[in-house]
């Protein structure tokens, strides 16, 4: 025991300092890189959301409005007189699917766009395809997959991603209906 303390004494100190220095230098460098990249990264995110918004419901301006209720709903934007753009986050196969749903004042879907997801490539990731997303356009009330007696063709037999997207669209429609009632009163 005594011998071991003597042996690791100065070595231990040097080890500690070296590792500490490594950590400090790397952290400092990363801080510098982060300063350069933080703004472009934030810009890309914003631009992406903006393009997706224009895609689902074109409008000159979008203003975020307060909505509380369904936890699936992340944010609600009022798109002038055109309706609402609702960001929903249902859970798919590979985690959360972040998507936007446009709803017009008559309560019909104007478009669906996926901001980010981690679904299986070649299967669930095909949800980003126009041919799948466009099935939701014009739907009202509550949407269902064909398997459940609805009108949406699922992407795969397992329907995990399709079910999630459908759930997201339904949640957005329900929220829009609520907002419409509030607006009417």
Partner 1 sequence: MNVKKQFREGLLTNNPVLVQLLGMCSTMAITTTLFNGIGMGVSVIVILTCSNIVISLLRKIIPSTIRIACYIVVVAGFVTIVDLLTQAFLPSLSESLGVFIPLIVVNCIILARAEAFASRNGVAASALDGIFQGTGYTLVLIVMCVIREFLGSGTFGGGLLGPDGAGIRILPEGVPATFLVLPVGGFLTLGCLIALMQYLLRRREDK
Residues that bind partner 1 (CB under 8 A): 11, 14-15, 18-19, 22-23, 26, 29-30, 33-34, 36-37, 40-41, 44, 48, 116, 118, 120-123
The residue among 34 and 106 lying less far from partner 1, judged by its C-beta, is 34
Question: Hey, which bits of the chain come out as E strands?
Answer: 63-65, 73-79, 83-88, 98-103, 109-116
Dihedral in degrees, nearest 10, Cα atoms 22, 24, 25, 30: 120
* CB-nearer residue toward partner 1: 30 or 137: 30
CB atoms within 10 A of CB 101: 27
DSSP category for residue 153 = P
Kindly tell me which of 47 and 64 has the beta carbon lying closer to partner 1. 47
| Alpha-carbon gap, residue 53 to 103, rounded angstroms | 11
Closest distance to partner 1 from the beta carbon of 62 (Å): 21
5 vs 181 by CB, closer to partner 1:
5
């Amino acid at each position: 025991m005594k011998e071991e303390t003597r042996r690791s004494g100065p070595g231990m100190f040097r080890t500690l300092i070296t590792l500490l220095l490594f950590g400090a230098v790397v952290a400092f460098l990363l801080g510098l890189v982060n300063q350069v990249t933080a703004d472009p990264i934030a810009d890309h995110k914003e631009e992406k959301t903006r393009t997706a918004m224009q895609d689902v419901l074109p409008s000159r301006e979008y203003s975020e409005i307060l909505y509380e209720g369904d936890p699936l709903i992340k944010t609600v934007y009022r798109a002038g007189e055109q309706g609402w753009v609702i960001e929903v986050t249902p859970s798919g196969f590979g985690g959360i699917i972040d998507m936007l749903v446009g709803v017009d004042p008559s309560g019909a879907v104007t478009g669906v766009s996926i901001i980010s997801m981690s679904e299986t490539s070649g299967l669930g990731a095909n949800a980003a395809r126009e041919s799948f997303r466009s099935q939701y356009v014009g739907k009202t009330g509550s949407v269902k997959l064909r398997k459940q007696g609805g009108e949406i063709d699922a992407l795969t037999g397992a329907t995990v991603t399709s079910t999630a997207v459908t759930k997201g669209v339904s949640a957005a429609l329900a929220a829009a209906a609520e907002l419409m009632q509030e607006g009417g009163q």
